[in-house]
A and B are shown apart, each in its own frame.
Chain A
Amino acid sequence: MSYVPTVAPGTGSRAPHRILARESKAAMAFVERNFYLTKRYWGWEVAFLVYTAASSLSIMFIGASQDGDTNRLILFLAIGTLVWGYLNSVFMNVAETVAWERWEGTIEYTMMAPVSRVTHMFGMSLFAIIYGLIRSTVLFLVLAAFFPEISLSEANLTGAALVIAAGSFSFIGFGIVGAVLPLLFPEKGEQMTLMM
C-alpha cells in the first residue's frame, strides 16, 4: 500500500484571504469540469453549433434578399443573432447547473463539499461567460465566411462589451433563478436521486 494522502484537511482557516483563495480554487473546479464535459460531448457541441449557425444564416439571407443597400441590415442581423446566441448559451449553462448534476447523480457530492453556493454559482457563471464568448467567436467566423461584407473594423467595441456585460448579468440572474427552482423542492430531489 503505497498511497498516503498528503493533505490533511483539518480545520479550515477563517481569515478572509484564505477563504477567498479556497473558494476561488473551488470556482475553478467547476470551470475545469465543465470544459472537460464540453470536450467529451464535442459531438453535441458541433451539432448544436451547426444548428445555431444555420438559423443565424437563414436570418441573414432573409436580410440579404431585401432591396437596396443590405450591408447595414445584414450586419445588424448578424450582431443580433450573435448576441442572442451568446446570451442564450449563458442562460442555459447557468440554468442547467442543478438539473444536470441531478441527472448525473453527482448533486449530493457537490452539495456536501465544503463550497458555498455562491461560489458554485460563480464558477458556473464564469464558465458560461467564457464558453459563450468562445462559441460566439466561432459562430462569427462562420457567418463572416458566408458574408464577407460584415466586418468589425468600424465596430464600437466598447459599446459592444458594455451591452454583452449588461446582458450577461441579467441572463445569469435569470439562469440562477432557473437553477435554484428545483432546489426549492429538495426532498423531492432526494427521492429522485437516491432511493436506496
Chain B
Amino acid sequence: MTYTGQHNDVAVRFDGVSKSFGGKRGRDRWFRRTNEQSAKLVRALNDVSFEVRKNEIFGILGANGSGKSTLVRLISTLLITDEGTITVFGNDVRDDEAEVKRLINRVSVEASFFKKLSPMENLLYSSRLYGRTGSELRRDIKQILVDLGIPEERIGVPLETMSRGMQQKVAIARAFLTSPVLLLLDEPTTGLDPRSKKDVQRFVLDLREKHDATVLICSHDMDEAERLCDRIAIMDNGRIVATGTVDELKDQVRGTQGLLDPTLEDVYMALTGHGLVEEKLMAGVA
C-alpha cells in the first residue's frame, strides 16, 4: 500500500490558508492611496489548516468576526486566497473552479432570494443553474418545502410575505435540491424556532446518511454543534485553536481551571480566553 499523502477520504483540505481584507493591496494600489487613506488591514484568516473527511459533519465554532463566513466563501470560490491552498475532493478551488462548483452548495444566514418571486420560482431558477429540469423538478420542490413545514398554499406566493424562518427553510431547500456532495452551512438555523431547528438538523443528518454528503457547518450554537458534529474546529480571530471530537476537546481542557466535567461552552472559553455568547450580545445583531 502506497501512502501518497493525499487520503482519498478527504473532502476538504485547507493548507496554510490566509486571507486579508483592505490594506494596501489590489485596488488601493491602483488608486495610489496613501497610508492614511487605505483601509486598515483585517486578517480574516491566518494560516488555517485542517481536513474534513468524507461523509463527516464538521463544525466550526467561533465568535462574530472570527472568520467563519470568509472560510466558507473561500470554499465556494467567491473569494480567492492570499496564501495557501484549498482542495475539495482533490480539486483545487482556484484551478478546478468549475468542478468544485458542481460539487458544493451553501446555506448562509441571510436567505438571499428574489423577494418578489415565489419559493417555487426561486427554486426553479436556482435548481436549473445546476442542470436540473423536467417535471419531477417541480414535484421535488413542492415535496421538500412541505417536508420542511412550509404550507402548500405559500409555495406560489412572493417570498417577501414570509417570515425569516420560513425564508431560511427555502434557502435550505435550495441547497438540498442540488444534492451537493459537500454542503456548506453558515449558521443555517440562526433565527429558527426550536422545532424548525430540529427539522433542519434532521434534514442535515438525512442528507449525510442517504446521499453520502459531507457537511461543513459554522455555528454559534453549542448544542447544535454537539448534536450534529462528528468533529469540531474552534476558531478565534482567524486562527483554528483546536480541532477534535467533542470528547477530545473536553479532554483537552479537563482538569485545567478547575474544570472537572467541562461543557462545550467551557471548552470554548478555556481555549479562546473569552465567551461566545457574551460577545455575541455585545456585538449586537451582526
Contacts and interface: CB of A to CB of B under 8 A. Distances in A.
Contacts, number: 133
Interface residues of A, number: 42
The residue in A37, A41, A187, A196 that gathers the most chain B C-beta atoms within 10 A of its C-beta is A196
A142 to B, nearest CB: 26
B77 A112 contact: yes
B41 interface: no
Given A25-B131, A111-B78, A187-B26, A8 B211 contact: yes
Interface of B: 21, 26-27, 69, 73, 76-79, 98-99, 101-106, 108-110, 112-117, 121, 124-126, 128-133, 136, 140, 143-144, 147, 158, 174, 176-181, 202-203, 206, 210-211, 286
A9 B112 contact: no
A1 B132 contact: no
Nearest to B103: A9
A45 interface: no
Interface string A1-45: 111111111111000000000100110111011001100110000
A37 B105 CA distance: 24
B112 A106 contact: yes
Nearest to A22: B131
Contact of B125 (A8, A10, A29): A29
Nearest to A120: B129
B102 A5 contact: no
A161 interface: no
Contacts of A7: 131-132, 179
A5 B176 contact: yes
A9 B117 contact: no
A29 B140 contact: no
Tell me whether chain A's interface is mostly helix, strand or loop, or mixed: loop
A5 B103 CA distance: 15
A63 to B, nearest CB: 39
Contact of A5 (B113, B126, B129, B140): B140
Contact of A37 (B114, B128, B203): B114
B21 A26 contact: no
Given A9-B131, A12-B99, A32-B125, A40 B69 contact: no
Contact of B143 (A2, A111, A112): A2
Contact of B117 (A6, A26, A36): A36
